[in-house]
Amino acid sequence: MEKSDKSPYGTLWKTWGLLLALTVVMVFIDVMGLPRILLLVVLVTAMLTKAFFISREFMDLKHEKLVVGIAVAFSILFFGAILFALMVPDGFAILHGGR
């Protein structure tokens, strides 16, 4: 309760530490040479975790109405996923079908 004006800074720098720790872990996992699929799953999970904390803590979505965060995340992630799902399989088709 006392020194409540200090607390916003504390949370921000904790988030900073978490983001850096995740980045270091990602780079180490990358150079470790995991199997391809496992590497993809781990890295994409860590990436989305970082995105979550940046938007929640730094962009202050935790203090906005929940629907704002849902609208933003859904728009970008859902349409991003659709784009990937529509386009990337074509890449395999081009590679193997030679068209």
Partner 1 sequence: MPSSSGAREAREEMMNWSGGVAPLGMSWQKLMMWIFIVTDGLLFAGFLAGYGLARTASPSWPDQQEVFHLWFISLMTFVLISSSATMATAVAAARLADWKRVSSMVLLTFAGGALFLSMQAYEWGGLFRDGVTISGNPWNVPAFGNYFFLITGFHGTHVLIGTLVLLRLAFRARAGKTTAAGVELAGLYWHFVDLVWVFVFTLFYLV
| Long-range contact pairs involving 67-76 (C-beta distance under 8 Å, separation at least 24) | none
d(Cα 32, Cα 82) in Å, to the nearest integer?
Answer: 31
Phi, psi of 6 (to 5 degrees): -80, -25
Place of tokens 């784009």: 83
Give the one residue of 3, 13, 32, 35 binding partner 1; rule: CB under 8 A.
Answer: 13
Residue 2 contacts partner 1 per CB under 8 A: no
d(Cα 5, Cα 41) in Å, to the nearest integer?
Answer: 40
Residue 65 contacts partner 1 per CB under 8 A: yes
Residue 9 contacts partner 1 per CB under 8 A: yes
Residues found near partner 1 in the complex (CB under 8 A): 5, 8-9, 12-13, 15-16, 19-20, 23-24, 26-27, 30-31, 39-40, 43-44, 46-47, 50-51, 54-55, 57-60, 64-68, 71-72, 75-76, 79-80, 83-84, 87-92, 94-95
